[in-house]
Structure 1
Amino acid sequence: MVFVTKYRRRAMTDVTDEVLTRCEEIMREVCEGFEAELRQFNGEEDHGHLLVHYPPKVQLSKLVNSLKGVSSRYLRKEYATHVRRFLWGGHFWSGSYFAGSCGGAPLTVVRQYIENQRRPV
């Protein structure tokens, strides 16, 4: 899955590693609530990549809604001053998302792609 920030703003600039680390923790907890597993996470100033293994009984739209909603609330609260410089109106993530199945690709290739995302310091 790929989530982009609202208006593709670089809301994680200057504190990218710290925000992405916290975002990963939040999303890992949300996944556990769905009996899913966040296998890989990385991102940049304006988006995040997730490799999630979830059971067939989980509706993807509900998982995404929870991942984005919970992480948005926590990140806007915990990094309020910083986030307010880039975003307004109570949003963190764009309303859209990308989800692709990787059933045909070797898991190592997908993990390598996510790991190789340029993570600014």
Structure 2
Amino acid sequence: MCDEYNYEILSLHISPDHVHLFLSAHPKHAPSEIVRAVKSITAGEMWQQHKPLLQEYLWGGGFWEESYYVGTAGDVSTSTIEQYIERTEHV
């Protein structure tokens, strides 16, 4: 999915109740478009691969929550963001 959209995953951490995804994308891609694409495609893949299990746990609900947080790196280094993700993996 990231190859298709030319996104580069710099760091990824999956917790039981949330995901930290740090990626690089061309500025022409709005953050909301990136989130929509990632959520839509990953939800579809998860439903294809794990439909019986997901139907049991997510009856009447979606795979992802509608909310999300997006931040930009700006003057913060990639290393600083990756360290933050690593430190919060136990939260």
TM range (shorter): 0.7 to 0.9
1:66 alignment partner in structure 2: 37
3-state secondary structure, aligned to 1:92: coil
Q: Runs in 1 of length 4+ with deviation above 6 angstroms?
A: none
| Partner Cα distance (2:21, 2:61) in 1 | 23
1:80 aligns with 2:80: no
Distance 1:118 1:79, change over 3 A: farther
Aligned CA RMSD, in angstroms, stands at 1.9
1:14 alignment partner in structure 2: none
Q: Which amino acid aligns with 2:90?
A: R
3-state secondary structure, aligned to 1:41: strand
The TM-score with structure 2 as length reference comes to 0.84
The TM-score with structure 1 as length reference comes to 0.65
| Partner Cα distance (1:111, 1:87) in 2 | 31
The answer to whether the 8 Å contact 1:34/1:58 transfers is no
Name which of 5, 22, 26 aligns with 1:55.
26
Name which of 46, 54, 79 aligns with 1:108.
79
| Partner Cα distance (1:96, 1:51) in 2 | 17
3-state secondary structure, aligned to 1:50: strand
| Residue 95 of structure 1: how far off its partner (Å) | 1.1
2:4 alignment partner in structure 1: 33
1:118 aligns with 2:79: no
* Number of residue pairs aligned between Structure 1 and Structure 2: 90
Cα deviation code 1:69-121 (max 9, x no counterpart): 010011122122322232123610011111011222221121122233139xx
Any unmatched runs of 5+ in structure 2?
A: none
Q: Which amino acid aligns with 1:118?
A: H
Structure possessing the higher radius of gyration over alpha carbons: 2
Any unmatched runs of 5+ in structure 1?
A: 1-29
| Partner Cα distance (1:32, 1:103) in 2 | 23
